[in-house]
Structure 1
Amino acid sequence: MNSITDWLEMVRKLLNVPLIKLKGMEITLWAVLYFIVLFFLLFYLTGKLKKWLVDRLLAKFYVEVGVREAIGTIIRYFVIVVGFVIILQTAGIDLTALNVLAGAVGLGLGFGLQNIVSNFVCGIIILFERPIKVGDRIEVGNVEGAVRRINARSTTVVTNDNISIIVPNSKFVTENVVNWSHDNHNVRFKIPVPVPYGCDVRLVERLLLEAAAENEDILEKPAPGVRFLQYTGSGLGFELRAWTTTMVHRKGMLVSALNFAIYDKFNEHGIKVSNISLRDVRIREGNLEVKMRGGGENG
């Protein structure tokens, strides 16, 4: 029993060894370990708190997922700041004695951590102004995808290839951002359809509208539309314009489905889809002869 008591007394003395002395205040090994353990515990518990707020509590009130994420993140930051101060006080660390140290740290942040601090401030701006939110389809720079997480320093964007791209928050404040679903999820896609001269343009219009109407992902209101945009050297330029809410994150899939449908309908009615003219190139007696063919065929 005495050996255990002696061992505990030795551990107590070891943990109470002062590591730093500031204005009469001693920071012991015990205070450092206490601070580290509780600080990591604080981060873990606030993460659980945010998840409970977002997935359980706020979900009961049918709050939009982007709003829930913003509220949960702001509350987590607030609890971390308050908890950090409480942990320092309970660890026996006098904050007033750390003024000099805090000034040095602040100076270091100003010179060495400018980008991190900038991204953190931009993250707070994003959470309050909400130019983007979780679930939005966005384009910033060369990145296009769905917003999955908005963190203190960066935002996670997932592409259609299921690749996560970590974008610094400052990008969303200092650069132009295309948000496909900022106010609502109604998005209009434009599908160019070139056809050769000589086609029945009214038939082309009807077939394009039929292809759109038969696709379950295309909205009836606003209704799809067809625009006859231009005459080119190789044919006539049409454009199918159709609205969707379900395929905002799958643009390629929707355009592909419509192109398949348009191609099949045109084949049924003998209409070719072509945007290049076929050329015969013949050389006779040193002269170059170019003949156009196929530009005016209707199939």
Structure 2
Amino acid sequence: MQSEANNTKTAPVSNFIDWLEELLNISLINLGESKLTIGLLLTLIFSFIALFVISEWLRRLLVNKILKRYDITTGTRQSIGTMVKYLLILAGIFSILQTNGIDLSAFGVLAGAIGVGIGFGLQNVTNNFISGLIILFEQPIKVGDRIEVGDVTGDVIKISARSTMIVTNDNITIIVPNSQFIDSQVINWSHSDRMVRFNFPVGISYKENPQRVKEILLDVAKKN
């Protein structure tokens, strides 16, 4: 009697496991000699999420802990960290696909379709991405630099794959496409020297004492 009761209890569990296995093995599409099942799709999603989280964590560790021990500027540290992150993501994507038995040759058609898409609608995105890589390698600008590009003047706070964030004197964040730094003239006030001079024109009455005005301005500058 007890054996029959145990079999009755384990039957729903076994049925659920069988149903779950059947659900996860449902084929969605064929990728060459491989099949993309629901289970494989979920595995890829979680793997890619983990890859991006870990690569970002390693980037921050490299920039804020390891490279900070050496005499390297903040902008250079950020550039090195970003390049290492991109390399880890690229290597991780191929590793995940190969580990899960995805036929990479099937992505040849996908790459061709992406190429057509780039030719028609993704030119600006691709241009900005490549420009971002050039900026990271050549470092005409770095995080912390005081720059002027077009009508925008401010401090570089972040260089990403597509754009660069600049904060103005009014604490306004402006997002500038990376291609603009390659195609346009860029003035980098702090490229060779971190000491930057600011000009603040001050209008005063002709009857005021210039020496007294100078003393007041210097006093205000020292307090700020």
With the length of structure 2 as denominator, give the TM-score of the two structures.
0.84
Q: Which has the higher contact order (CA 8 A, sep 6+)?
A: 2
Match in the other structure for 2:156? 147
| Residue 95 (structure 1) shift | 0.1
Residue 24 of structure 2 aligns with an amino acid whose one-letter code is L
In the alignment, is the contact (CA less than 8 A) between 1:146 and 1:157 conserved in 2?
yes
Match in the other structure for 1:165? 174
Which residues in structure 2 correspond to 1:131-280 (within 5 Å)?
131-190=140-199, 207=211, 211=215, 215=218, 257=220
Aligned: 1:30 with 2:39: yes
In the alignment, is the contact (CA less than 8 A) between 2:147 and 2:153 conserved in 1?
yes
Query: Partners in 2 of 1:215 and 1:89 — Cα distance?
Result: 66
Match in the other structure for 1:97? 106
Aligned: 1:67 with 2:55: no
RMSD: 2.6
Residue 143 of structure 1 aligns with an amino acid whose one-letter code is V
In the alignment, is the contact (CA less than 8 A) between 2:31 and 2:102 conserved in 1?
no
Deviation digits for residues 218-237 of structure 1 (CA, Å, limit 9, x no counterpart) = xxxxxxxxxxxxxxxxxxxx
Deviation digits for residues 164-218 of structure 1 (CA, Å, limit 9, x no counterpart) = 2111111111111121111112234456678999x9xxx96xx39x749x948xx
In the alignment, is the contact (CA less than 8 A) between 2:31 and 2:103 conserved in 1?
no
Query: Partners in 1 of 2:202 and 2:112 — Cα distance?
Result: 64
Please list every run of at least 4 consecutive aligned residues from structure 1 whose deviation after the TM superposition is greater than 4 angstroms.
189-197
Q: Which has the higher strand share?
A: 1
| Residue 39 (structure 1) shift | 0.8
Query: Partners in 1 of 2:203 and 2:121 — Cα distance?
Result: 56
| Residue 112 (structure 1) shift | 1.6
Match in the other structure for 1:8? 17
Match in the other structure for 1:119? 128
Query: Partners in 2 of 1:65 and 1:195 — Cα distance?
Result: 40
| Residue 132 (structure 1) shift | 0.6
Deviation digits for residues 239-288 of structure 1 (CA, Å, limit 9, x no counterpart) = xxxxxxxxxxxxxxxxxx46xxxxxxxxxxxxxxxxxxxxxxxxxxxxxx
| Residue 43 (structure 1) shift | 0.9
Select between 26-35 and 188-197 the one with higher mean Cα deviation.
Answer: 188-197
| Residue 23 (structure 1) shift | 3.5
In the alignment, is the contact (CA less than 8 A) between 1:22 and 1:97 conserved in 2?
yes
TM-aligned CA distance change 1:61 to 1:8, over 3 Å: same
In the alignment, is the contact (CA less than 8 A) between 1:31 and 1:92 conserved in 2?
no
With the length of structure 1 as denominator, give the TM-score of the two structures.
0.64
In the alignment, is the contact (CA less than 8 A) between 1:134 and 1:150 conserved in 2?
yes
Query: Partners in 2 of 1:62 and 1:77 — Cα distance?
Result: 24
SS in 2 for 1:26: strand
SS in 2 for 1:147: strand
Query: Partners in 2 of 1:125 and 1:196 — Cα distance?
Result: 50
Unaligned ranges ≥5, structure 2: 1-9
Q: Size of the alignment, in residue pairs?
A: 212
Identity of aligned residues (%): 46
Instruction: Please say which structure displays the higher CA radius of gyration.
Output: 1
Q: Which has the higher helix share?
A: 2
Residue 104 of structure 1 aligns with an amino acid whose one-letter code is A
